[in-house]
């Protein structure tokens, strides 16, 4: 018998499969009987009946100051512009302009087709900061880029978290070797949009108490091991030091500066530093879960907040319009790993909406075509 099984083991295969199938079916049955649901599968359909609004276009024209288009030199912009028109997005800021030839080609493509609909920010390689010639070469490159039409500098989160100098040491956000760069932006009249750190929850234990548990499960690399990374507070204070040290430079602190869950703290920073602004890309869910506080806060700091989205996906803007403009209650956000909670509308006054949608961006970012916004107000 054993001999037979050794030779013809495959005969047993169908039985094994049937056995496994039965077990799987049985586990499902038992789970159902015991009321067990996977927390990731749980998607209760709300029975709440309240007024609903589903805006697919912003009430006022807007500027998205936080966007990434990675193929701009060769991109067919027509499709994108058509979608922007449908959303009422007049200007898109592409933060991934990179530098050098890539940047030039991107600018060429934009200027040839839709010169006033796109704004490009450049990016710098900070890891070169020990090389001979740095920062002067970088400063020259920045001057050139601004002459060509670049309207800002975007700094990625790598600075402060993972970028290292020639000795292999982490480059702090407030590393004095970078001071000439920040000062140059002020002198050139261009803002710095800076993303520093990550949500504070990424530094917390990956357990059932963690607000971003699902995100850390789906993207384990986003977890910040306190042994291997500087703390949340450390990178935040480094970033704030830069703001403090360069009052002549305007900074757009990306993603509500990761203080979306503590707006009072962000407000304090604004009170101290008039050169600091923020944008709401990828952190809308923070505002939507605290409608009372967020509404009051946005009215108070209406001159400091800009519209941003980050990842480009047309239908996701609808949730932005719904949170900012309506007074709808208890509705879904579009990304479960960012918010397992529901949204509430803020019903912001028109005057505040206009500032967030475009007026503040026009103050901070130079050279935006004002004629795109002239007919505003008759909506």
Task: Give me the residues that bind Zn ion (CB under 5 A), please.
Answer: 310
Q: Which is nearer to Zn ion, 175 or 310 (CB)?
A: 310
Single out the residue of 348, 369, 363 nearest to residue 60, CA to CA: 348
**Long-range Cβ contacts of 350-354 (<8 Å, 24+ apart):** 350/59, 350/60, 351/302, 352/298, 352/299, 352/302, 353/59, 353/60, 353/324, 353/325, 354/60
Q: Which is nearer to Zn ion, 174 or 310 (CB)?
A: 310
Q: Which is nearer to Zn ion, 94 or 302 (CB)?
A: 94
Q: How far is the CB of 76 from Zn ion (least distance, A)?
A: 22
Q: Which is nearer to Zn ion, 144 or 316 (CB)?
A: 316
Peptide bond into 135 cis (omega under 30): yes
Q: Which is nearer to Zn ion, 66 or 250 (CB)?
A: 66
Decide if 251 contacts 275 (C-beta within 8 A): yes
- The partner residues of 306 in beta bridges, in order of sequence, read 279
Backbone conformation region of residue 205, classed left if phi is above 0, alpha if psi is from -120 to 50, else beta: beta
Gap between the Cα atoms of 173 and 363, Å rounded: 25
Q: How far is the CB of 125 from Zn ion (least distance, A)?
A: 18
Q: How far is the CB of 58 from Zn ion (least distance, A)?
A: 20
Q: Which is nearer to Zn ion, 95 or 294 (CB)?
A: 95
Q: How far is the CB of 6 from Zn ion (least distance, A)?
A: 59
Which residue is nearest to Zn ion, using beta carbons? 310
Gap between the Cα atoms of 91 and 320, Å rounded: 16
Q: How far is the CB of 159 from Zn ion (least distance, A)?
A: 14
- Angle formed by the axes of helices 291-300 and 263-272, nearest 10°: 10
Q: How far is the CB of 66 from Zn ion (least distance, A)?
A: 6
């Amino acid at each position: 018998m054993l001999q037979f099984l050794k030779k013809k083991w495959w005969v047993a295969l169908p039985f094994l499969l049937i056995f496994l199938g039965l077990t799987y079916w049985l586990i499902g049955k038992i789970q159902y009987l015991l009321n067990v649901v996977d927390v990731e599968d749980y998607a209760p359909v709300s029975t709440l009946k309240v007024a609903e609004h589903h805006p697919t276009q912003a009430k006022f024209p807007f500027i998205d100051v936080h966007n990434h288009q990675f193929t701009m030199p060769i991109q067919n912009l027509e499709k994108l512009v058509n979608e922007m028109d449908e959303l009422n997005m007049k200007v898109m800021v592409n933060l991934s302009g990179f530098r050098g030839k890539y940047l030039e080609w991107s600018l060429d493509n934009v200027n040839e087709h839709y010169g006033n609909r796109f704004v490009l920010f450049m990016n710098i390689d900070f890891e070169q900061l020990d090389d001979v010639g740095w920062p002067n070469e970088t400063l020259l490159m920045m001057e050139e880029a601004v002459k060509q039409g670049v309207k800002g500098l975007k700094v990625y989160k790598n600075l402060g978290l993972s970028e290292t100098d020639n000795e292999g040491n982490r480059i702090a956000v407030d590393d004095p070797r970078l001071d000439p760069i920040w000062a140059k932006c002020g002198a050139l009249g261009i803002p710095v949009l800076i993303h520093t750190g990550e949500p504070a929850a990424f530094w917390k234990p990956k357990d059932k108490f963690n607000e971003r548990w699902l995100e850390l499960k789906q993207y384990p690399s986003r977890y910040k091991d306190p042994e291997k990374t500087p703390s949340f507070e450390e990178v935040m204070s480094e970033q704030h030091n830069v703001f403090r040290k360069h009052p002549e430079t305007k900074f757009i602190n990306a993603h509500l500066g990761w203080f979306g869950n503590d707006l009072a703290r962000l407000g304090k920073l604004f009170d101290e530093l008039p050169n600091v602004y923020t944008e709401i890309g990828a952190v809308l869910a923070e505002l939507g879960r605290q409608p009372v506080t967020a509404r009051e806060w946005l009215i108070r700091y209406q001159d400091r907040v800009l519209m941003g989205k980050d990842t480009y996906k047309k239908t996701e803007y609808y949730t932005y319009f719904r949170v900012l403009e309506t007074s709808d209650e208890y509705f879904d956000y579009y990304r479960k790993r960012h918010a397992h909670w529901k949204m509430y509308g803020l019903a912001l006054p028109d005057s505040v909406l206009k500032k967030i949608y475009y007026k503040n961006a026009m103050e901070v970012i130079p050279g935006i075509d004002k004629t795109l916004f002239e007919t505003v107000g008759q909506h």
